[in-house]
Amino acid sequence: MSSTESATFGVRSTTAPLRRVLLRRPAVSGDFTAAQWRSPDPALLADQHSRFVEVLAAAGCVVEVAEPADGLVDACYVRDPAMVTSGGAILFDMGKSSRRGEPELLGSWFAANGIPVLGRLSGAARAEGGDMVWLDENTLLVGRSYRTNDEGIRQLSALLADEGARVEAVDLPHDRGPEHVLHLMSVLSPVAPDLAVVYPPLAPVRLLQLLRERGVELVAVDDEEYRAMACNVLAVRPREVVMLQGNPRTEAALRERGCVVHTYDGSEISLKGDGGPTCLTLPLLCG
């Protein structure tokens, strides 16, 4: 048995086979309006999340599902409070103040499920997992944004250095301002080592340069489908992806490049809370 087959955690890639993944069921109570959700239907929210779990399981992922965090309505976007690396988990301190309780919840889940916590960001450091993409097994691309700041990047770099990984930071644009989410993965989704979905109008220049230097082919999302979250695509293995339904041009472009595409209905769980398939998932084991 290989080390990957016997392991229960370990992530150093955004596109390697997604073997084990964590999701959290959506909250049934809390102030959705204050968290900038657009009046989701609670029953549909729960149903769509359950169906999303089924899509991942059918694609071959072992899906772990944490209980709802009532009162923390963004907690179903489980990518953001932490990341899992080859050595364990790193807990963040989040840029959105209403989400500050989420890292502790994930820390408890990790402790109960045998995943060691390598460290937690502290002090003025802020970071969210949606701003992080592995370019290769030794290079983590991090978006400097309203949610991830310089001190967060510095502390994360120090923690990853112990694992032989380095951080490459790129600046994200202002877009609609600090009250609206713009993560790195809002504008970039690698789907294979040599293929990525991007939204060029908001992509940092250095990001596009890095991808081209590495010979990565870019699938450009248009304005209309960007607003429908076509740029947020989850790779379950190279060239096999999960994306929000209703984006036919981006879906067709991926299929033309040999991708297997699974879609899900995210009218409530994604569009009304600004969180796509990568946001809904925390990779635990890849490779």
Average pLDDT over residues 150-165: 97
Residue 49 · residue 269 · CB < 8 Å: yes
Q: Residue 59 pLDDT more than 90?
A: yes
- Mean pLDDT within 204-233: 98
Q: CA 287 → CA 93, 141, 180, 283, distances in Å?
A: 27, 19, 33, 11
Length of the chain: 287
Phi, psi of 51 (to 5 degrees): -70, -35
The CATH code for residues 10-272 is 3.75.10.10
Q: What is the pLDDT of residue 84?
A: 99
User: Strand (E) positions, the chain?
Assistant: 18-24, 62-66, 82-84, 89-91, 117-120, 132-136, 139-144, 166-171, 188-192, 195-198, 217-220, 234-237, 240-244, 260-264, 282-286
Check whether 229 has a pLDDT greater than 50: yes
Please give the pLDDT value at position 2. 44
Q: Where are the domains of the chain?
A: 10-272
Q: How far apart are CA 172 and CA 91, in angstroms?
A: 22
From CA 219, how far away is CA 228, in angstroms rounded? 16
User: Hey, CA dihedral for 166, 19, 84, 87, is it positive or negative?
Assistant: negative
pLDDT digits 0-9 by tens, 37-53: 999 998 999 999 999 99
71 pLDDT higher than 80:
yes
Locus of tokens 């370019």? 135
Per-residue pLDDT tens digits for 165-208: 999 999 999 999 988 889 999 999 999 999 999 999 999 999 99
- Radius of gyration of the chain, Cα coordinates, nearest whole angstrom: 17
- Chain-wide mean pLDDT for the chain? 96
Question: Which of the four pLDDT bands, split at 50, 70 and 90, describes residue 95?
Answer: confident
